[in-house]
């Protein structure tokens, strides 16, 4: 699985959009980009994933650059409850359930009142 | 959606005793479950992959005799920390996947404190 690079921390004002970047310059064509977040002392929570097209769900939007070497997770209207560590993970598409997720150091997002 | 239940959420035990942590997939069957360990302000580190009906696969540096894993059914995996020491104090998290079209679901974690 390709390595990812994320800033260690970011702040965002409550109600504003939070844009979390992720660099995955060594990504290969069959690797998806996954985003998870972990609120303090809880298990990680799935947010969104994508291959090459932009994706949106009820939680967030995922913007993947055309060359797929980087992506941005967007929380459109951040709330205090979005304060968490956000992990960007790259993983081979179509892999069986037997392969684990490998976590990097993530980005600590702090939403400020 | 896929739900993974982990129990207990926190436990305190004395040095030398053993502690069992349970991980259940509530609405799906999981032939494979994963056990992670997380130290304060650190990321999740995979400890082992639990396989239903067969032996677990441990990551390098993880003592299989200390961290016993049993995956006796398609919905339950257990992690037993044997002869616990204070350095085993950590946050333990399990994970499973309902299928290749699903994301990975994580338990809520178990905070183990060995005194």
The model's pLDDT over B4-36, given as tens digits with 9 standing for 90+, comes to 999 999 999 999 999 999 999 998 998 889 999
Is residue B105 over pLDDT 80?
Answer: yes
Q: Show the CA angle centred on residue B34, arms to residues B46 and A29, nearest 5°.
A: 75
**Which pLDDT score, from 0 to 100, does residue B109 have?**
97
Is residue B79 over pLDDT 90?
Answer: yes
pLDDT class of A95 with cuts at 50, 70, 90: low
Mean pLDDT of B37-64: 92
Query: What is the nearest CA distance from A32 to chain B, expressed in angstroms?
Result: 11
Alpha helices in chain B, H assignment, sequence order: none
Give the count of beta carbons closer than 10 Å to the beta carbon of residue B103: 18
Is residue A96 over pLDDT 60?
Answer: no
B109 touches chain A (CB under 8 A): yes
Give the whole-number percent of chain B exceeding pLDDT 90.
78
**Which pLDDT score, from 0 to 100, does residue B52 have?**
86
CB pairs under 8 A between A and B: 57
Rounded Cα–Cα distance for residues A12 and B62 (Å): 38
**Which pLDDT score, from 0 to 100, does residue B104 have?**
86
Q: Pick from A43, A46, A94: which is nearest to B93 by CB?
A: A43
- Mean pLDDT, all residues of chain A: 92
Yes or no, beta carbons of A97 and B93 under 8 Å apart: no
pLDDT class of B99 with cuts at 50, 70, 90: confident
Give the count of beta carbons closer than 10 Å to the beta carbon of residue B66: 14
B105 touches chain A (CB under 8 A): yes
Yes or no, beta carbons of B109 and A105 under 8 Å apart: no
Q: What Å distances lie between residue A7 and A19, A88, A109, CA to CA?
A: 11, 11, 10
Yes or no, beta carbons of A97 and B31 under 8 Å apart: yes
B6 touches chain A (CB under 8 A): yes
**Which pLDDT score, from 0 to 100, does residue A97 have?**
52
Which tokens hold the place of B48? 């082992």
Rg (CA), chain B: 13
Of the residues B35, B104, B109, B111, the best mutation for testing chain A's interface (the one with the most A CB atoms within 10 Å of its CB) is: B104
Is residue B98 over pLDDT 90?
Answer: no
Contacts of A29 (CB under 8 A, 6+ apart): none
Rounded Cα–Cα distance for residues B70 and A1 (Å): 28
Is residue B100 over pLDDT 90?
Answer: no
Between A18-22, A60-64, A77-81, B48-52, the lowest mean confidence (pLDDT) is in B48-52
pLDDT class of A91 with cuts at 50, 70, 90: confident
Rounded Cα–Cα distance for residues A108 and B107 (Å): 21
Is residue B89 over pLDDT 60?
Answer: yes
Long-range own/partner contacts, residues B14-17 (CB < 8 A, 24 or more apart): B14/B84, B14/B114, B14/B115, B15/B84, B15/B85, B15/B86, B15/B114, B15/B115, B16/B83, B16/B84, B17/B83, B17/B84
**Which pLDDT score, from 0 to 100, does residue A100 have?**
77
B57 touches chain A (CB under 8 A): no
Query: What is the nearest CA distance from B26 to chain A, expressed in angstroms?
Result: 16
**Which pLDDT score, from 0 to 100, does residue A113 have?**
96
pLDDT class of A93 with cuts at 50, 70, 90: low
pLDDT class of A98 with cuts at 50, 70, 90: low
């Amino acid at each position: 699985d390709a390595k990812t690079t994320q800033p260690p921390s970011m702040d965002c004002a409550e109600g504003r959009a939070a844009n979390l970047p992720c660099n995955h310059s060594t990504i290969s064509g069959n690797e998806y980009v996954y985003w998870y977040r972990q609120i303090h002392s809880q298990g990680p929570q799935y947010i969104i994933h994508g291959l090459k097209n932009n994706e949106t769900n009820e939680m967030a939007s995922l913007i993947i650059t055309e060359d797929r070497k980087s992506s941005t997770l967007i929380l459109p209207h951040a709330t205090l409850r979005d304060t968490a560590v956000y992990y960007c993970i790259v993983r081979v598409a179509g892999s069986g359930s037997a392969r684990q997720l490998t976590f990097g150091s993530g980005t600590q997002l702090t939403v400020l009142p | 959606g896929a739900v993974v239940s982990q129990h207990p959420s926190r436990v305190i035990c004395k040095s030398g005793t053993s502690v069992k942590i349970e991980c259940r997939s509530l609405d799906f069957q999981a032939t494979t479950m994963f056990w992670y360990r997380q130290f304060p302000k650190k990321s999740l580190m995979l400890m082992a992959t639990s396989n239903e009906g067969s032996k677990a696969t441990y990551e390098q540096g993880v003592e299989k005799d200390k961290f016993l894993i049993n995956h006796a059914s398609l919905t339950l995996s257990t992690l037993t920390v044997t002869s616990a020491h204070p350095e085993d104090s950590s946050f333990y998290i399990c994970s499973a996947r309902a299928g290749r079209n699903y994301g990975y679901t994580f338990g809520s974690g178990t905070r183990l404190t060995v005194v």
